[in-house]
Amino acid sequence: MTKAAGSKPSAKAKKAAEPDARVFPVETRFQKLAKRQGGVPREKAIEQAQSEIEGVKPRFDTWLGDELQEFKRLMRKVEGTKANAEWIKTANFHSRQLRDSAITLNFELLAFIAGSLCEILDSIEAGSECNMESIICHIESLLLAGQASYRHLKPEQVPDLTNGLHRVVKRVTAQPST
């Protein structure tokens, strides 16, 4: 049985056309706080943040030296053996700290290398095979990039290094777990 043109749809047809869920916006507490009056203007907040970052930069050298010493210590700890899960976790913690600090302070090459190391370590924590050669390669690259003469370089200024590290990450993280 077909309906004639111009006839009204049945109640069953109307019900089928209604969505199963109703979507509605929810304003979170953070959104409410962000929209309220007062506070520091955006431009001033950015200016203050940049000033704070500049104030931290001189201490970065000491902190970076300590972090690089920690990577050297970690390398000595697994010399000739495979890293255990605790070692991977510790190395990943330090590589993330270095990546995040280097990004904040605009040390792009350090941030790139540390981020690349994070990818490898994350992959290992997720079950990929532990390839110590790739980890040591990245740590040695961090030691190089941590030197004053390399610290302010951008990844595109050392394409052989960055392309090589990128290939290592791609190869190591693509390996199936054994």
Return the percentage of the chain with pLDDT > 90, whole number: 51
Terminal Cα-to-Cα distance of the chain (whole angstroms): 62
The residue-averaged pLDDT of 24-28 equals 84
Residue 111 contacts residue 102 (beta carbons within 8 Å)? yes
Mean pLDDT of 111-120: 96
Q: Which fold does the domain 51-173 belong to in CATH?
A: Four Helix Bundle (Hemerythrin (Met), subunit A) (1.20.120)
Who contacts 156 (Cβ-Cβ below 8 Å, separation ≥6)? Answer: 162
Per the CB < 8 A criterion, the answer to whether 39 and 48 are in contact is no
Average pLDDT, the chain: 86
User: Global pTM?
Assistant: 0.72
Q: pLDDT digit string (tens) for 85-104?
A: 999 999 999 999 999 999 98
For 78, counting Cβ atoms within 10 Å of its Cβ (0-12 exposed, 13-18 middle, 19+ buried), the class is middle
Q: Does pLDDT of 3 surpass 60?
A: no
Residue position matching structure tokens 């050298």:
61
Q: Is-contact 77 87, C-beta < 8 A? A: yes
CB neighbour burial string for 150-178, b if at least 16 within 10 angstroms, e if fewer: bbebebeebeebbeebeebbeebbeeeee
Binned at pLDDT 50, 70 and 90, residue 31 comes out as confident
**Residue 81: pLDDT band with limits 50, 70, 90:** confident
Q: Are 155 and 162 within 8 A, CB to CB?
A: yes
Residue 150 to residue 107: CA distance in whole angstroms: 10
- State both tokens at 72: 């050297």
Q: Where are the domains of the chain?
A: 51-173
